[in-house]
Structure 1
């Protein structure tokens, strides 16, 4: 991949990662409830989800997902159900303020946070359809495809991890100023509602005809 092409792709991935969506909501929710050190672990899962989407597109399954109405519907409604479930969980999260040492909600394991992040990005056919439309602009079929996909995957994963870590830090540092149980309960319900809204928006998404 030429440097000019990579720079363009890098800027595109930054814009994609910064755009509000389920990943950003998940990262901020984790930062709010677990503090930055623990909450940042969800960013690993979100990056893994991006790599999963790239692998799906790279091996050709993305085209099947985009053209098969049944496959698309199954994955879409799985994603919708998961986002709504996350919304309910966030709505019901304990109204406990963050503490100085980031040990709030210590019962949530690293594995659970990583899996949550992976699922948010992986079970999202909207991301697959988007990558199918974008990737061909940056892949040169005359050059070795594996090397290009490795560069694309490393770039997208690094950007996604960095941006989502930033969202988690923002929630932990800024929203962490809210200390009272009433304030925390209100924030949890806001984020819970955002998850449900993200699920509702995904439910309206349709593959291109």
Structure 2
């Protein structure tokens, strides 16, 4: 892979990661509810799912999922239901004490699993990766090495972007000086989860 090809992919990764989606909403909600250091476990789950999707595409299974109406629909509707569940949980989230040490602890494995399920249950991501990644791969060179470079690049960029989303939401907790504002923010995130679910429900196979 030439440096020019990698730079083009690097730029594309920033554009992709900065585009708001369910992962960004989940990162902000985690930062708001648990603070940066606990909430950032969610981003690790997002990356595990991303790595799985890249591996699926690299193995050629992505083409099967992209062309299978049943497989695509099952993954999509599972994702829709899960996002709606998160919307309901966020809407019902209790008002917290404003001291940092009074925030809910948040179990790392639970947050990792949440991030993983959000990314893994988006079949459009596999279709998108299937459409984009091969454009940056030189079939005349070792494929495994190239896919590893692309995967590491995507993960690092996305970790940086999700750190930004998580950190901004965690800092926002400082201005939530009343239960009313906390409820407004929680319900705003619930609506964003709902919007993400609605957008996912409209996704069709290309």
So what's the TM-score if we normalise by structure 2? Answer: 0.96
User: Following TM superposition, by how much is the alpha carbon of 1:92 offset from its aligned partner in structure 2, in angstroms?
Assistant: 0.9
What RMSD in Å do the two structures reach over aligned CA positions?
Answer: 1.2
Q: Residue 111 of structure 1 corresponds to which residue in structure 2?
A: 109
Alignment match, 2:38: 38
SS in 2 for 1:140: coil
Selected match of 1:128 from 126, 129, 148: 126
Residue 99 of structure 1: CA displacement? 2.5
Instruction: Give CA deviations for 1:111-141 in whole Å, capped at 9, x if unaligned.
Output: 0011111111111011111111111110111
CA change 1:163–1:97 in 2 (3 A) is farther
How many residues are aligned here? 206
**What runs of 5+ residues in structure 1 fail to find an aligned partner?**
none
TM-score, length basis structure 1:
0.95
Provide the rounded CA distance (Å) in 2 between the counterparts of 1:126 and 1:175: 33
Write the deviation string for residues 64-90 of structure 1: whole angstroms up to 9, x where unpaired.
111010110011101111111111111
1:196 aligns with 2:194: yes
CA distance in 2, matches of 1:27, 1:176: 17
> Partner of 1:174: helix, strand, or coil?
helix
Q: Please show how residues 125-164 of structure 1 align to structure 2 within 5 Å.
A: 125-164=123-162
Counting only pairs closer than 5 Å after superposition, residues 1-209 of structure 1 correspond to structure 2 as 1-101=1-101, 104-106=103-105, 108-208=106-206
Take 2:54 and 2:174, find their aligned partners in 1: how far apart are those partners? 34
Measured in 2, the distance between the counterparts of 1:149 and 1:116 equals 26
Q: Against the structure 1 CA distance between its residues 176 and 62, is the aligned structure 2 distance closer, same or farther, given a 3 Å change threshold?
A: farther
What CA distance in whole angstroms lies between the structure 1 residues aligned with 2:46 and 2:177?
28
User: 2:180, 2:141 → 1: CA distance?
Assistant: 58
In the TM superposition, structure 1's runs of 4+ consecutive aligned residues that sit over 6 Å from their partners are none
* Counterpart Cα distance in 2 of 1:162 and 1:148: 22
1:100 to partner: Cα distance? 3.2
What's the secondary structure of 2:35's corresponding residue? Answer: helix
Unaligned runs of 5+ in 2: none
